[in-house]
């Protein structure tokens, strides 16, 4: 019998498998839908190159999901990594911690500061990293698996952006991951890269320990549902090479990401009762799975600037202004044009995720409901105005049609230019048992059943003011130190 079975060898799953298997008396089994490459050098070059996003439409290492961004619009597509390392294996390598204010809100949401206050999570952030610029500090680690560094020679487009921000009077932030580095200003982005290579959690946590005798790692295995005896989770049903198999374990942990962890729970009978009944899914425990989720709505402003292109991580600098990030991407999305991403980091509008079918091959319906709140539209209008001024100060030529002045017309413009940062979280919210939006408790155990936890970005109960990758790693590091059941 396996002690802990982890579903999903993604960003969080690789961290958890590596940490839990440090105890030779604890057996761990890790199941991942994507392929397994057993050494870092065997990972395809496109996944290793940190200067490009490996998101080709036909890439075998991606999940694709149609989503609706607003109640007005049609569908657009988002992706996730389907490979060991998960989305950390395909992402932009931005590795920035959430802020003190985020953790104050998180601790308030769970009505406890025991596990998720700033002070409580700092050791887990420190354990994860080897900060190559700042070394060991009270707030930085130097011996963790993830190399973290800021660029020493910014690309010309990044340098022009930073100079324009200085002209606009924004202060420079020396270390975005320091406790005093979370205020407004422009800072170099900490990245999880090594010599131009993307360092996923598979590369730096899992592969170095994959040969441990108490750790079993399986690729190309898709988990269909969790198996219960009463309300005790006792195993999983999987598809491997087109055949149905089962694995049993003492404790099951879902680390399949905010989309698939919620979908697996619902398929297994843990979700909104009426909805599950409509899909003929037997109910194990009614729960608000997928009833709330959040992400970072983003507007892209294209511009021309005659500076040379050069190999760089997609984002070297970021300007933060309260709940806004302005991102000067170094990778052109349209030939001959650069892009400023303008993202709202703490939107009030929230989305929902629901199964469309009990068939695992049918992706769930994801409704973002972006721009529903007047607050979000007001903040984005202001942010676009600031970003437009920065483009002007850079001496660049704007290519995107300008946002009209009148708020109503400006809102139409926001709808027309809207995208998402692909940071979905919160589908299995953390909170106390009496919170009617909560799915897991503060130790990440699913309410109402035994032997089942969710450990990934699904559990975060508040919008995060920064990109979520570093915080996903922190969640797994933190939970690895919690009592086993």
Q: Per CB under 6 A, does 79 bind ligand FAD?
A: yes
Stretch of 39-47, 172-180, 381-389, 464-472 contacting ligand FAD, by CB under 6 A: 464-472
Pull the structure tokens for residue 307: 């500076």
Q: Which is nearest to 451 in space by CA: 424, 403, 479, 485?
A: 485
Q: Per CB under 6 A, does 222 bind ligand FAD?
A: yes
Cα angle 442, 123, 28 (rounded to 5 degrees) comes to 65
Q: Per CB under 6 A, does 186 bind ligand FAD?
A: no
Q: Is the CB of 200 or the CB of 388 nearer to ligand FAD?
A: 200
Pull the structure tokens for residue 194: 């090594």
Q: Per CB under 6 A, does 200 bind ligand FAD?
A: no
Exposed, middle or buried, 278 (CB in 10 Å: 0-12/13-18/19+)? exposed
Distance, in Å, from the CA atom of 239 to the CA atom of 138, rounded to the nearest integer, reads: 46
Give yes or no: 218 in active site. no
Pull the structure tokens for residue 442: 């503060």
Which residue is listed with tokens 């398929």?
267
Terminal Cα distance for the chain, rounded? 16
Which residue among 37, 235, 468, 474 contacts ligand FAD (CB under 6 A)? 468
Q: Is the CB of 220 or the CB of 378 nearer to ligand FAD?
A: 220
Which residue among 131, 376, 456, 477 contacts ligand FAD (CB under 6 A)? 456
Q: Per CB under 6 A, does 7 bind ligand FAD?
A: yes
Candidates 140, 285, 296, 423; catalytic one: 423
**How big is the site for ligand FAD, counted in residues (CB under 6 A)?**
41
**Contact pattern for ligand FAD over residues 23 through 62, marking x by CB under 6 A:** --------xxxx------------------x-x-------
Q: Which residue is nearest to ligand FAD (CB)?
A: 10
Minimum distance of ligand FAD from residue 7's CB (angstroms): 5
**Contact pattern for ligand FAD over residues 223 through 252, marking x by CB under 6 A:** x-----------------------------
**Beta carbons of 276 and 285 less than 8 angstroms apart:** no
Which residue among 86, 141, 154, 235 contacts ligand FAD (CB under 6 A)? 86
Q: Per CB under 6 A, does 187 bind ligand FAD?
A: no
Q: Which is nearest to 128 in space by CA: 482, 485, 481, 453?
A: 481
Q: Is the CB of 92 or the CB of 290 nearer to ligand FAD?
A: 92
Q: Per CB under 6 A, does 80 bind ligand FAD?
A: yes
Distance, in Å, from the CA atom of 287 to the CA atom of 310, rounded to the nearest integer, reads: 49
Give residues 418-437 in contact with ligand FAD (rule: CB under 6 A): 422-423
List Cα–Cα distances, 303 to 137, 167, 200, 309, 402, in angstroms.
39, 19, 31, 14, 11
Q: Is the CB of 162 or the CB of 202 nearer to ligand FAD?
A: 202
- Segments of 105-231 assigned E as strands: 129-131, 146-148, 172-173, 185-188, 193-194, 197-198, 215-218, 221-229
Q: Per CB under 6 A, does 8 bind ligand FAD?
A: yes
Exposed, middle or buried, 345 (CB in 10 Å: 0-12/13-18/19+)? buried
CB crowding 441-452: b at 16 or more within 10 Å, else e: bbbbbbbebebb
Name the site residues for ligand FAD (rule: CB under 6 A).
7-13, 31-34, 53, 55, 79-82, 86-88, 90-94, 222-223, 255-258, 260, 264, 422-423, 456-457, 467-469, 472
Q: Which residues are catalytic?
A: 423
């Amino acid at each position: 019998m396996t002690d802990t079975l982890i579903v999903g060898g993604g960003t969080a799953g690789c961290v958890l498998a590596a940490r839990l298997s440090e105890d030779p008396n604890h057996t761990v089994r890790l199941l991942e839908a994507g392929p397994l490459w057993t050494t870092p050098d065997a990972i395809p070059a496109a996944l290793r190159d940190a200067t490009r996003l490996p998101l080709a439409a036909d890439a075998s290492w991606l999940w694709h999901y149609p989503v609706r961004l607003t109640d007005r619009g049609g569908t657009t597509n988002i992706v996730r990594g389907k490979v060991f390392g998960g989305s950390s294996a395909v992402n932009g390598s931005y590795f920035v911690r959430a802020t003190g204010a985020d953790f104050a809100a998180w601790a308030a949401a769970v009505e406890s500061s025991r596990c998720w206050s700033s002070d409580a999570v700092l050791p887990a952030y420190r354990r994860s990293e080897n900060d190559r610029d700042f070394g060991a500090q009270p707030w930085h680690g130097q011996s963790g698996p993830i190399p973290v560094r800021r660029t020493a020679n910014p690309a010309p487009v990044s340098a022009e952006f930073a100079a324009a921000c200085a002209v606009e009077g924004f202060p420079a932030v020396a270390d975005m991951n320091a406790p005093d580095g979370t205020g407004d200003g422009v800072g170099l982005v900490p990245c999880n890269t090594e010599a131009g290579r993307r360092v996923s959690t598979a590369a730096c946590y899992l592969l170095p320990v994959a040969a441990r005798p108490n750790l079993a790692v399986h690729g190309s295995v898709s988990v269909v549902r969790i198996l219960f005896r009463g309300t005790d989770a006792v195993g999983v049903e999987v598809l491997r090479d087109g055949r149905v198999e089962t694995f049993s374990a003492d404790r099951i942990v879902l680390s399949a990401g905010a989309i698939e962890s919620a979908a697996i729970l619902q398929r297994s009978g843990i979700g909104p009762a009426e909805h599950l009944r409509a899909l003929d899914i037997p109910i194990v425990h009614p729960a608000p799975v997928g009833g709330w989720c959040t992400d970072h709505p983003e507007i892209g402003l294209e511009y021309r600037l005659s500076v040379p292109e050069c190999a760089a991580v997609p984002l070297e600098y970021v300007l933060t202004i309260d709940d806004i990030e302005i991102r000067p991407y170094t990778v052109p999305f349209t030939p001959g044009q650069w892009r400023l991403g303008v993202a709202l980091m703490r939107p009030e509008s929230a989305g929902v995720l629901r199964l469309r079918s009990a068939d695992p091959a049918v992706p769930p319906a994801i409704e973002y409901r972006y721009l529903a709140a007047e607050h979000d539209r007001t903040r984005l209008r202001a942010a676009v105005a600031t970003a437009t001024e920065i483009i002007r100060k850079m001496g660049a030529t704007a290519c995107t049609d300008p946002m009209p002045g009148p708020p109503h017309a400006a809102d139409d413009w926001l709808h027309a230019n809207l995208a998402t940062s692909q940071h979905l979280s919160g589908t299995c919210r953390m909170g106390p048992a009496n919170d009617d939006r909560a799915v897991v408790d503060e130790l990440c155990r699913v309410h109402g059943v035994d032997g089942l936890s969710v450990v990934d970005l699904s559990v975060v109960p508040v919008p995060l003011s920064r990109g979520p990758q570093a915080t996903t790693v922190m969640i797994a590091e933190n939970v690895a130190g919690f009592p086993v059941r």
